[in-house]
Structure 1
Amino acid sequence: MKNILSLLSVTFVLIGLTFSNFAHADKYAKTVEDFRKAPEVQNFFQNAYGYAIYPTVGKGGIGIGAAYGAGRVYKGGIHTGDSTLSQLSIGFQLGGQAYSEIIFFKNKAAYDDFTSGTFEFSAQASAVAITVGANAQVGSTGNSAAAGNAGNRTAAKANYMNGMAIFTAAKGGLMYEAAIAGQAFSFDAK
C-alpha cells in the first residue's frame, strides 16, 4: 500500500509539472528552438518529412512507473494535429524525471503510420539522449525512450528506425530504472 501511495504521489507531481507548462503559449516553439541548438538533430530538421514535439514528459515510478506528455505534430513546419504520449513500465525503477522528446518522420509513410490514430513503438525502438545547448553531448538510452545521462559525443549516432528517429533532452529529476517500457501515442488532427 505504501508503494502505491508513493507512486501516486510521484505521478501527480510529475503530471502537475506537465500541466504547469500549459501556461506558456510558446512552449512548443521554445522546445523546437532548444532542440535545434543540438548539432545531432540539425540534419533531421533539414531533411525530415515532419516531426512530433513533446515539451515536457513527466515520468515517475516505484516498481510500476508511468509517463505522460502532451505534444504537437508538424508536417513541413505546419501544425497538423495534437498528440499525447503515455507510457507504463514494470521493473526496477525508482524516482521521477521530466524530459522533452522529439520524433522525426523520415517520409510520408512514417508520418502516416504515426498519425493513424494510435501508434506504439516496438520493443527495439530506442532514443538518443542529448543535452541541448552550445556544447551538446550524446548518449544512448537503450530500449526505452526515456531521458538518460549525456555521454561521450561519439557514443551514439542517431539513425531512422522504421522511418522514425527519437531524441530526448533531460529537464530535471533523477530516476533509476531497469524496466520494460513502451510508449504509446494518440493523434487528433487539427
Structure 2
Amino acid sequence: MKKLLLSLITVFVLVAGFTVQADDYSQTIDNFKSSPATKDFFNQAYGYAVYPTIAKAGVGIGAAHGKGLVYLHNKKVGKSSMTQLSIGFQLGGQVYSQIIFFQDKRSFDEFTSGNFEFSASASAVALTAAVQAQVGSSGISSSKGADSSSTKQNKASYHKGMAVMTLTKGGLMYEAVLAGQKYSYIAL
C-alpha cells in the first residue's frame, strides 16, 4: 500500500511539474498583484522570481519542485528552478505558486549567483483564505478568517533582503518536517 501511495504521489509531482505554460507566468503575476499584501512589494522591489506551479508531495520523505522566471525591474532576465527535500511526519500532496521579492541589488545578486539555498530561518507568507498555519524550515505563516474577505493575514516583510509569498492552487498536505530549499539560476 505504501509503495502504491508513493508511486501515486510521484506521478502527481511529475505531472504537476510539467503543466506550466507560457501564459501561466503572466497569470500568476496578476494573481499575486491582486493581493493587497503584495502591492508595495511590486512597487518597490528591485526584482522578483515567480514560480507558477510548484508541486509538493510526501509520505515520510517528501519533495517539491517547480520552474520559474526571474525579473529585474519587470524585465525577464533568467530562468530558475526550486527543489525542496523534506523528512518527517508528512502525508499528501499540494500545488502552489510562489514569488520571491528582492529588496535590493545585494539580495538579487545573492539569489542569481548560481545555486542559492534558503536557511531554516527563512519564512514564507501564504496568501490564502480561511484558517491555516504552517511552521517549518520551509516557512512560517498563519492567517485567520471564515473566508477570503474576512481573513486577517500576517504582514509580509523582507528577511535578509528577500520576501517569499505563496498562493495555494490545490491539494491537501499534513506535515511537521525539516526541509531545505535549493534554487538554481540561469541567465537568459
If the length of structure 2 is used for normalisation, what is the TM-score? 0.89
Structure 1 unaligned segments of length 5 or more: list them.
none
Of 12-21 and 163-172, the range deviating more from structure 2: 12-21
Q: Which residue of 1 aligns with 2:67?
A: 70
2:134 to 141, 156, 174: 141
1:16 maps to a residue whose letter is V
Structure 2 unaligned segments of length 5 or more: list them.
146-150
Distance of 2:117 and 2:6 partners within structure 1 = 24
Contact 1:147 1:168 in 2 (8 A): no
Once the two structures are TM-superposed, the CA of residue 13 in structure 1 deviates from its matched residue by 1.4
Distance of 1:18 and 1:34 partners within structure 2 = 19
Q: Which residue of 2 aligns with 1:90?
A: 87
Distance of 2:80 and 2:130 partners within structure 1 = 28
Indicate the SS of the match to 2:43. helix
Indicate the SS of the match to 2:116. strand
Alpha carbons of 1:79 and 1:112: their partners in 2 closer, same or farther (altered >3 Å)?
A: same
Distance of 1:117 and 1:187 partners within structure 2 = 5
Indicate the SS of the match to 1:160. coil
Contact 2:25 2:50 in 1 (8 A): yes
Q: Deviations over 1:26-75 (max 9, x none)?
A: 11011000000000011000000000000000000000000000000000
Q: Which residue of 2 aligns with 1:184?
A: 182
Is 1:118 the counterpart of 2:115 in the alignment?
yes
Percentage identity across paired residues of the two chains = 49
Q: Which residue of 2 aligns with 1:3?
A: 2
1:142 maps to a residue whose letter is V
Distance of 1:58 and 1:147 partners within structure 2 = 19
Once the two structures are TM-superposed, the CA of residue 5 in structure 1 deviates from its matched residue by 4.7
Judging by fraction of residues, say which structure has more strand: 2
Distance of 1:8 and 1:149 partners within structure 2 = 31
Contact 2:127 2:153 in 1 (8 A): no
Distance of 2:160 and 2:44 partners within structure 1 = 16
Is 1:29 the counterpart of 2:26 in the alignment?
yes
Contact 1:128 1:168 in 2 (8 A): yes
Q: Deviations over 1:63-111 (max 9, x none)?
A: 0000000000000001010000000000000000000000000000000
Is 1:159 the counterpart of 2:152 in the alignment?
no
Total equivalences in the alignment: 183
